[in-house]
Amino acid sequence: MSLVIPLIRPLALGCLLAGVVGCGSNFGFPGVYRINVEQGNVVTEEMVDQLRPGLNRRQVRYIMGTPLIEDSFHEDRWDYRYLLRNGNELLSETQLTLWFEEDELVRVEGPDAPNWDEPQSEASASEAPDAS
């Protein structure tokens, strides 16, 4: 019994220390620098502007890069997802989903998706040379 009492104090202290270190990421220690972590596909506005209906998969892969998610159960769907985190804090998140039919791009979904249903603007139509 006399040997057990001197071992309890260091064991309790070790468990307390392990608990504090394990929970350190949730509470955060002051002065600890956390780096930004990027995950997924970086999709720029220039890349999205190059997408057009009718592009084949090879052309889309050349423009956008390899998709983050290429599901074998949904072969006609490619997902480009991007996350920017600083520790547990989510700084930025984007998602772009491309749909294909018979190897041709038919639809793009997401907050930054191009709007292909818009009619051509009057400014670009008036810039066409006059035939008269």
Classify residue 85: in a domain, yes or no: yes
Q: Is 81 contained in some domain?
A: yes
* pLDDT tens-digit map of 23-37: 555 556 677 788 888
Q: How confident is the model at residue 128 (pLDDT cuts 50, 70, 90)?
A: very low
Alpha helices in 50-103 (DSSP H): 57-64
Q: What's the domain count of the chain? A: 1
In a domain, 3, yes or no: no
CA of residue 15 relative to chain centroid, distance: 38
Question: Which structural domain, as residue segments, surrounds residue 76?
Answer: 34-115
Q: Per residue in 77-115, pLDDT tens?
A: 999 988 889 888 888 888 899 999 999 999 999 888 888
Does 94 fall in a domain? yes
- What CATH number is attached to the domain comprising 73? 3.30.1450
DSSP string, 69-113: B--SS-TTEEEEEEEEEETTEEEEEEEEEEEEETTEEEEEESTT-
Task: Determine, yes or no, domain membership for 72.
Answer: yes
pTM over 0.75: no
How far, in whole angstroms, is CA 59 from its chain's centroid? 21
Q: State residue 97's pLDDT score.
A: 92
Whether 12 maps to a domain, the answer reads no
Q: Is residue 24, in this structure, part of any structural domain at all? A: no
